[in-house]
């Protein structure tokens, strides 16, 4: 059995979590103080994911950049592919928080949405 | 073709330019940096010395005392802050007291007025925050403090308004004299031809002198590290506190600045590289140690910035002023180290009168000897501020919060004669970025204003000269996304 | 300008939460003065996620978190002025401010809430030797340039200091195509949150060099590189450990300083440890009717705690305006001892205290498997084991009012960290 120490990134507590792994499967998680830690450990071992935040070019506003994020986490391995798409995307004002800026980015099934308002 | 070309827009070059601008002559100042006041003039103790320190009979003594005398009127004419806060040479060992008497005698011979030797009691009454070890002091009430940036900028601006041309980013490289006796100055921006040359090249004044004269001189860059402390500490001492002078200079001072900070410095280390204005670990450590010997509880944790300046130390420790025998129409202002800042008005006066006589220059009828500084909103009443804001709303926007500098002041600094074109240029003219957050807050805002007012892309906004660009490219555009 | 009951200096997370809470507590005369061109403060440039898990039970970005409060301020019809710099707060609570449209004006207030936030420690304060070229940025300034203005301050970056903004910017610069060489931290531990080391550095193989600092900066015009050396136990560089890192940008994330110029000139008593005002259980400073909350009081790790604290300050300010200062029994002092560096609040009056007393503090070193203890005079009432207690993270203990009232003649509450 393999043991891996992880720092949970689910919240700023940053719990030190120990995952016990057998045949690539997480069989036990200890050290977490809430359910997020357990979920995080499972995902981190089998399919690590992250939320990506950045900006896109904004047109038609006094502001020139609009903050955006992936609406939920995406596979860690796709981060730079997603960034490439974000870097070429444009949003037009008016925009409000939650508006979809890029649909289904890189086939992840996840949208990139605005996290700021612009008029 | 010019009548006179001055190499260097430091405080000496600017003072000479301003004095020469009284006369009908075509004058140009060549400056390798993007602005005036970029070398030794911007990184020194900002002290107007009384003049007791220089050797009796030396040019340094003469020009120091005369410069000190002239400074008050000049500061008024040019609308820049100057204060006679007084200087104290403090002894912390009884055996140094004899040295004080020597200094006193030298000062009297140099013509320094109102010198006085203070007892320990008189001294501590005057400066209660001095070290308990203080034994006595030489007091020179004529010692003062000034803003070296504003002095340099005001002199240049005033010269410019009176017709002197300035060429920035223009580095003099080679001097040759043709058969007709005209000087040809090769620069990175083409060739300049002139009848007379003034060598006010600071650390490089030996380079130009030696290019034209067989009587060689040698300038050593003498590095001095400084620390500037938060304005909170500015009233720790009122007067400029000197230790006893030594062979390496006037020692490490503790003094208020004209703008209300406190500074400690300089160290004195002779180096080779005329460009090496980097501070050192040892230097800063020395400042903390030595400064603390004279002032008790020196709040060194309140340092907001440190910097190093290079003094143009000539081997003979003397100003070299005038025409070398073997280089006609080439006028040296070389070896200008402390008390160079103090002496600059006197050097300007002396060189200009000398050249007037040599060249038979005629005085202009419409010479303007005064100028107004950038409007300062600091200390204005509510009514005064509102009058300004009504006239120009930009005076209602604070850009530098630490030094309370408004957009109106920055616009004035940019659009006035010889206006600022860089962050440092704005800083030296308005103090935006000189406060305790050291431009963390205002730099993006000042960049934006420079970008808007000068019509330059943000990528071309610089901190100072050369490759000192602040940002490289826009996000999402070229350069990025390498994944 | 007309007078207000409550003037709030700063429209960032603290000011917004204080305003909303004061309004909900029944005060209808509130003015927020904000120096930037929009409400939200520093959150507007913190476009990364990780905010609001405590407050909203979901993970938000900075602008999203701010908008939750801005929306409330707008809905509640609370007055605010943008692009307005507060120039002075007089001890009689007259606030002087300035902007382009109104000029310089004074606002008489019955209560003032200080919510100015904090600023970054600059290079100069660190005495880093070397040149002073372009390309030395505090991490927050760089963050504003990249996230708001959309400009890249550099392509090859070294970060000094492992504060959260520095860690976040390491990832942010990487996303935007820059190469982050390393993060050097003079202390033997990081100043930032553990999760940020994982998701901002480890994810992108950016080395974190603990017990290292920058000993030289190369480049006269623009940064060309820095020399980094290991430091000994006294934080002095160890000769022979110097290594040169090529870079065009040095970013500093070496600490935050509460921005209290206005508080000081108003005459508010300061705590030298936090550089923030000394406050009581109601977040009231030494000047009656002047309250403080958020990073101007003490630097927080989580905005959620800022909002919570600010809401209390807002409620207390509203109560103060409504009822004046209530007569109260003598204050109980709250002191930090041992590993705890300070406490907020510094005093407690039982008469004014609600049901719970939250004491927040930070420690001065990393403790493993240590105990956070609370003593009511000499009696230990809390002894709580923690796996890790670190300076980068704010700690808190919550005491019930009954605990305090039942301890007869209570004079002092001590918070300390014990190894056993």
As for the ipTM of the complex, it is: 0.94
- DSSP string over B192-248: EEEEEEEE--GGGHHHHHHHH-SS---EEEEEEEEEEE-GGGTTS-SSEEE---BTT
Whether residue C63 and residue A97 make contact (CB cut-off 8 A), yes or no, is yes
Confidence at B227, pLDDT banded by 50, 70, 90? very high
User: Which chain A residues in 65-104 lie under 8 Å from chain B, judged by CB atoms?
Assistant: 65, 80-81, 83-84, 87-88
Integer-rounded Cα radius of gyration of chain B: 23
Inform me whether the pLDDT recorded for B478 exceeds 70.
no
Least confident of B63-67, B474-478, C55-59, C345-349: B474-478
Distance CA B409, CA B405 (A): 7
Residue B103 has pLDDT above 50, yes or no: yes
Query: What pLDDT is stored for residue B132 in this prediction?
Result: 92
Minimal C-alpha gap between B213 and chain A (Å): 59
More confident: C32 or C121: C32
Question: What pLDDT, on a 0 to 100 scale, did the predictor assign at position C406?
Answer: 93
Cβ of B244: how many Cβ atoms within 10 Å?
18
pLDDT of residue C1: 77
Structure tokens given for C161: 């200091």
Task: State whether B476 and A83 contact (CB < 8 Å).
Answer: no
Question: Tens digit of pLDDT for each residue in B336-377?
Answer: 999 999 999 999 999 999 999 999 999 999 999 999 999 999
Q: Mean pLDDT across the stretch B261-282? A: 95
Q: Characterize the bridge pairing of strands A49-50 and A74-75.
A: antiparallel
Do the chains contact at B476 and A55, CB–CB below 8 Å?
yes
Q: Residue count of chain C, please give it.
A: 420
Tell me the pLDDT tens digit for each residue of C180-223.
999 999 999 998 888 899 999 999 999 999 999 999 999 999 99
B415-473 pLDDT tens trace? 999 999 999 999 999 999 999 999 999 999 999 999 999 999 999 999 999 999 999 99
Considering only the C-alpha atoms of chain B, give the largest distance between any 2 of them, rounded to a whole number of Å. Answer: 73
Q: Are B144 and B47 within 8 A, CB to CB?
A: yes
Give dist(CA C317, CA C311) in Å, integer: 10
Query: pLDDT at position C332, please?
Result: 95
Percent of chain C whose pLDDT exceeds 90? 89
Average pLDDT for chain B: 95
- Chain A residue closest in CA terms to B480: A87
Residue B398 is predicted with a pLDDT of 97
Residue B88 has pLDDT above 90, yes or no: yes
Q: pLDDT band for B482, please (50, 70, 90 cuts).
A: very low
Do residues C79 and C4 lie in contact, with contact meaning Cβ atoms separated by under 8 Å?
yes
Contacts of C among chains (3+ CB pairs under 8 A) = A, B
To the query of whether residue B218 is one of the catalytic residues in this protein, the response is no
Burial pattern B157-196, b for ≥16 Cβ within 10 A else e, equals bbbbbbbbebbbbbebeebeeeeeeebebebeeeebebbb
What is the 8-class DSSP label of residue C197? Answer: I
Q: Per-residue pLDDT for B150 more than 90?
A: yes
Partner residue opposite B475 with nearest CB, options C130, C132, C146? C146
Collect all residues with Cβ–Cβ distance below 8 Å to C43 and sequence separation of at least 6.
C12, C13, C51, C62, C63, C65, C66, C303
Residue B197 and residue B191 in contact, taking contact as beta carbons nearer than 8 Å: no
- Distance between CA atoms of residues C100 and C83, nearest Å: 8
Residues in chain C closer than 8 A to A115 (CB atoms):
47, 60-61, 63-64
Calculate mean pLDDT across residues B325-339.
97
pTM score > 0.90 for this model? Answer: yes
Annotation: CATH topology of A53-114: CPE0013-like fold (3.10.530)
Q: Poorest-confidence range of A35-49, C16-30, C70-84? A: A35-49
Least confident of B115-129, B307-321, B442-456, C390-404: C390-404
pLDDT of amino acid B481:
43
Domain ranges in chain A with CATH number 3.10.530.10: 53-114
Mean pLDDT, chain A, whole residue set: 93
Q: What is the dihedral of CA B317, B322, B325, B329, to 10 degrees?
A: 140
Interface test with B, best of C98, C123, C172 (most B CBs within 10 A): C98
- 8 Å CB contact of C100 and B393: yes
Among candidates C63, C147, C193 on the partner chain, residue whose Cβ is nearest the Cβ of A14 = C193
CB distance B473–C87 less than 8 Å? no
pLDDT tens digit sequence for C353-404: 999 999 999 999 999 899 999 999 999 999 999 888 888 889 999 999 999 9
| C295-342: pLDDT as tens digits | 999 999 999 999 999 999 999 999 999 998 777 777 899 999 989 999
Contact C152 B396 (CB under 8 A): no
User: What pLDDT, on the 0 to 100 scale, is given for residue C123?
Assistant: 83
Who contacts B102 (Cβ-Cβ below 8 Å, separation ≥6)? none
Residue C197 contacts A, CB cutoff 8 Å = yes
| Segment A17-48, tens digit of pLDDT | 999 999 888 999 998 988 989 999 999 999 99
DSSP E strand stretches across B392-431: 398-400, 405-406
CB-CB neighbors (< 8 A) of B444 in chain C: 141, 144-145, 149
For residue B480, pLDDT over 50 is answered with: no
Q: Is the peptide bond before C345 cis (omega within 30 degrees of 0)?
A: yes
Find the mean pLDDT for residues B92-105: 91
Of B304, B473, B480, the CB nearest to C124: B304
CA A62/CA B432 separation, integer angstroms: 25
For C237-295, the pLDDT digits (tens) are: 999 999 999 999 999 999 999 999 999 999 999 999 999 999 999 999 999 999 999 99
Contact call for A55 and C197, based on CB within 8 A:
no
Interface test with B, best of C9, C34, C95, C100 (most B CBs within 10 A): C100
Which of residues 44 through 83 in chain C touch B, CB cutoff 8 A?
83
End-to-end CA distance of chain C: 58
A contact chains, 3+ CB pairs < 8 A: B, C
- Candidate from B143-147, B277-281, C126-130, C219-223 with smallest mean pLDDT: C126-130
Lowest-confidence segment of A2-11, B315-324, C3-12 by average pLDDT: A2-11
């Amino acid at each position: 059995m393999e043991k891996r120490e992880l720092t949970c990134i689910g919240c700023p507590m940053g719990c030190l979590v120990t995952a016990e792994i057998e045949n690539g499967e997480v069989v036990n998680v200890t050290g977490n103080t809430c359910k997020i830690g357990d979920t995080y450990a499972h995902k981190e071992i089998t399919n690590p994911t992250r939320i990506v935040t950045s900006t896109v070019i904004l047109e038609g506003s006094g502001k020139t950049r609009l903050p955006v994020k992936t609406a939920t986490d995406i596979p860690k391995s796709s981060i730079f592919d997603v960034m490439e798409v974000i870097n070429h995307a444009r949003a037009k004002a008016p925009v409000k928080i939650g508006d979809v800026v890029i649909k289904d980015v890189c086939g992840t099934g996840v949208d990139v949405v605005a996290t700021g308002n612009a008029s | 073709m010019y009548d006179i070309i001055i190499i260097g827009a430091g405080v000496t070059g600017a003072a000479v330019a301003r004095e020469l601008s009284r006369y009908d002559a075509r004058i140009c100042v060549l400056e390798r940096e993007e602005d005036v006041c970029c070398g030794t003039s911007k990184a020194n103790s900002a002290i107007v010395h009384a003049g007791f320190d220089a050797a009796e009979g030396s040019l340094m003594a003469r020009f120091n005392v005369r410069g000190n005398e002239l400074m008050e009127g000049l500061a008024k004419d040019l609308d820049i802050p100057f204060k006679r806060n007084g200087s104290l040479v403090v002894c912390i060992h009884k055996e140094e007291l004899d040295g004080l008497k020597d200094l006193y005698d030298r000062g009297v011979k140099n013509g320094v007025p109102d010198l006085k030797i203070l007892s320990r009691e008189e001294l501590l009454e005057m400066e209660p925050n001095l070290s308990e070890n203080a034994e006595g002091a030489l007091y020179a009430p004529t010692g003062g403090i000034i803003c070296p940036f504003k002095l340099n900028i005001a002199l240049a601006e005033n010269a410019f308004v009176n017709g002197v041309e300035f060429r920035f980013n223009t580095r003099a490289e080679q001097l040759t004299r043709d058969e007709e006796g005209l000087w040809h100055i090769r620069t990175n921006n083409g060739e300049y031809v002139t009848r007379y040359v003034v060598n006010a090249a600071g650390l490089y004044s030996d380079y130009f002198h030696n290019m034209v004269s067989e009587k060689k001189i040698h300038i050593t860059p003498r590095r001095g590290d400084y620390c500037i402390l938060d304005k909170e500490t500015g009233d720790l001492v009122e007067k400029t506190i000197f230790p006893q002078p030594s062979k390496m200079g006037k020692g490490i001072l503790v003094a208020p600045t004209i703008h209300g900070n406190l500074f400690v410095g300089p160290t004195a280390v002779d180096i080779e590289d005329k460009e090496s204005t980097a501070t050192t670990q040892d230097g800063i450590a020395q400042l903390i140690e030595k400064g603390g010997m004279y002032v008790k509880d020196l709040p060194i944790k309140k340092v907001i910035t440190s910097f190093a300046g290079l003094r143009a130390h000539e081997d003979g420790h003397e100003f070299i002023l005038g025409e070398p025998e073997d280089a006609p129409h080439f006028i040296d202002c070389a070896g200008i180290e402390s008390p160079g800042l103090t002496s600059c008005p006197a050097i300007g006066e002396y060189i200009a009168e000398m050249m007037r006589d040599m060249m038979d220059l005629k005085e202009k009828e419409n010479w303007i000897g005064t100028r107004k500084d950038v409007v300062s909103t600091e200390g204005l009443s509510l009514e005064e501020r509102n009058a300004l804001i009504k006239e120009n709303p930009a005076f209602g926007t604070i850009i530098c919060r630490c030094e309370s500098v408004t957009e109106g002041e920055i616009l004035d600094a940019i659009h006035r004669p010889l206006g600022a074109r860089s962050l440092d240029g704005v800083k030296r003219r308005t103090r935006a970025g000189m406060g305790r957050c050291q431009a963390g807050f205002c730099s993006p805002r000042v960049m934006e204003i420079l970008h808007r007012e000068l019509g330059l892309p943000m990528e071309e906004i610089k901190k100072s000269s050369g490759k000192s660009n602040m940002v490289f490219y826009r996000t999402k555009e070229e350069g990025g996304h390498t994944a | 300008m007309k007078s207000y009951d409550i003037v709030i200096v700063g429209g960032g997370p603290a000011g917004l939460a204080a305003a909303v809470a004061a309004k909900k507590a029944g005060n209808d005369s509130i003015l927020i003065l904000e120096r930037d061109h929009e409400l939200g403060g520093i959150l507007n440039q913190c476009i990364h996620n990780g905010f609001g898990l405590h407050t909203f039970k979901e993970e938000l970005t900075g602008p999203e978190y701010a908008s939750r409060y801005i929306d409330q301020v707008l809905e509640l019809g609370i007055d605010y002025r943008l692009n307005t710099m507060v120039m002075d707060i007089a001890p009689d609570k007259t606030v002087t401010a300035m902007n382009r449209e109104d000029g310089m004006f004074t606002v008489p207030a019955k209560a003032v809430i200080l919510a100015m936030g904090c600023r970054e420690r600059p290079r100069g304060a660190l005495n880093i030797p070397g040149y002073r070229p372009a390309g030395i940025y505090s991490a927050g300034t760089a963050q504003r340039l990249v996230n708001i203005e959309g400009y890249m301050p550099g392509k090859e970056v070294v970060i000094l200091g492992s504060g959260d903004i520095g860690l976040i910017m390491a990832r942010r610069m990487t996303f935007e195509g820059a190469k982050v060489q390393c993060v050097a931290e003079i202390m033997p531990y990081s100043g930032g949150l553990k999760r940020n080391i994982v998701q901002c550095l480890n994810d992108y193989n950016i080395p974190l060099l603990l017990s290292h600092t920058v000993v030289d900066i190369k480049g006269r015009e623009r940064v060309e590189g820095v020399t980094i050396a290991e430091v000994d136990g006294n934080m002095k560089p160890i000769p022979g450990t110097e290594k040169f890192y090529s870079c065009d940008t040095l970013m500093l994330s070496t600490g935050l300083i509460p921005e209290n110029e206005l508080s000081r000139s108003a005459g508010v008593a300061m705590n030298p440890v936090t550089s923030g005002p000394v406050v009581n259980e109601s977040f009231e400073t030494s000047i009656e009717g002047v309250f403080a909350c958020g990073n101007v009081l003490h630097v927080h790790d989580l905005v959620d705690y800022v909002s919570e604290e600010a809401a209390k300050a807002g409620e207390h300010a509203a109560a103060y305006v409504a009822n004046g200062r209530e007569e109260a029994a003598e204050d109980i002092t709250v002191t930090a001892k041992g590993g705890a560096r300070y406490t907020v609040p510094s005093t407690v009056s039982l008469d004014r205290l609600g049901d719970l007393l939250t004491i927040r503090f930070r420690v001065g070193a990393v403790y493993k498997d240590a105990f956070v203890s609370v003593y009511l005079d000499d009696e230990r009432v809390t002894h709580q084991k923690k796996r890790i207690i670190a300076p980068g993270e704010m700690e808190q203990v919550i005491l019930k009012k009954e605990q305090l009232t039942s301890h007869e003649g209570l004079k002092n509450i001590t918070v300390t960290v014990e190894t056993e």
